């Protein structure tokens, strides 16, 4: 798979911490394996789940230590800060915006990679246009409804066509709770930690506020293959 790459000690310790606290189980979403294992592994704090065959599969991460749940009916995406018209978009509002599909490898900075994952959703740029970004805005601050995880992007990065507010993944399924549904961020050209799960709020701001992992030593600009001391193949 991916060979070990030198990473700073601080970063290494952050990864070890993440592995102990944040990996709930690892299996490809919607597979029979996952359905069978979910009740066991979601509660497994022993690390037993790491013996499951997970090569080429997603690890399910939650730094919060639990998987928050929100139904599509109760879901809202707040878009606020330096915008003309603050929004509380429903799931159906998002479905009503132009649908975009991207298929690419999903790459975690710790090394695991899932090939050819299909994502569907709305371009983040289109969501921003609904709210109307004001002059002087430079960055976005994303907050998960797990109330702990945060992320950031520059406005320029956010407007790329391969950055999605995603509501479907894998084989056209809605995004499961485990994978950050009903709506998560998907930042195709960057390592997985930029793809914030359980997306609750997008705040338009005028300065960078580093996200959860960035405050713990990871690069803010997390381009695959040219950040965090790694040299993975680009997606």
Cβ neighbour number for residue 14 with a 10 Å cutoff: 18
Half-sphere exposure of 218 (CA within 13 A, CB side): 25
Among 26, 180, 192, 200, binds Mo ion (CB under 5 A): 192
Task: Check binding of 179 to ligand MTE (CB under 6 A).
Answer: yes
Q: Give the nearest distance from C-beta 105 to ligand MTE in angstroms.
A: 12
Among 193, 202, 224, 228, binds ligand MTE (CB under 6 A): 193
Is the CB of residue 148 less than 8 Å from the CB of residue 134?
Answer: no
Residue nearest to Mo ion (CB): 108
Please give the residues from 145 up to 174 whose contact with ligand MTE meets the rule CB under 6 A: 146, 149
Residue nearest to ligand MTE (CB): 192
Task: Check binding of 62 to ligand MTE (CB under 6 A).
Answer: yes
Q: What are the angstrom distances between the C-alpha of 96 and each of 91, 127, 136, 144, 192?
A: 9, 11, 29, 22, 27
Is the CB of residue 120 less than 8 Å from the CB of residue 101?
Answer: yes
Is the CB of residue 157 less than 8 Å from the CB of residue 222?
Answer: no
Among 24, 108, 114, 165, binds Mo ion (CB under 5 A): 108
Tokens 């009916």 sit on residue: 73
Task: Check binding of 54 to ligand MTE (CB under 6 A).
Answer: no
What residues line the site for ligand MTE (CB under 6 A)?
A: 22, 58-63, 108, 144, 146, 149, 179-180, 192-193, 195-198
């Amino acid at each position: 798979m991916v060979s070990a790459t030198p990473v700073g000690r601080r970063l290494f310790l952050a990864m070890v911490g993440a592995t102990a606290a944040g990996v709930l189980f690892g299996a490809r979403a919607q597979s029979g394996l996952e359905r069978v294992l979910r009740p066991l592994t979601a509660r497994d704090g022993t690390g037993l789940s790491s013996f499951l065959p997970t090569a080429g599969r997603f690890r399910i991460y939650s730094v919060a230590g639990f998987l928050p749940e929100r139904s599509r009916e109760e879901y809202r995406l707040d878009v606020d800060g330096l915008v003309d018209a603050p929004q509380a978009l429903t799931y159906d509002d998002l479905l009503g915006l132009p649908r975009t599909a991207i298929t690419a490898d999903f790459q975690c900075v710790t090394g695991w990679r899932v090939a050819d994952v299909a994502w569907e959703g709305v371009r983040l740029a289109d969501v921003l246009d609904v709210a109307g970004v004001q002059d002087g805005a430079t960055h976005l601050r994303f907050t998960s409804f797990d109330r702990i995880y945060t992320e950031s992007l520059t406005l320029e990065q956010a407007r790329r066509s391969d950055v999605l507010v995603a509501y479907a993944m894998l084989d056209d399924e809605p995004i499961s709770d485990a994978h950050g549904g009903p709506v998560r961020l998907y930042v195709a050209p960057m390592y997985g930690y930029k793809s914030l799960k359980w997306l609750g709020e997008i705040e338009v701001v005028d300065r960078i506020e580093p996200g959860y992992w960035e405050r713990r030593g990871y690069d803010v600009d997390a381009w695959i293959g040219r950040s965090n001391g790694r040299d993975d193949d680009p997606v």
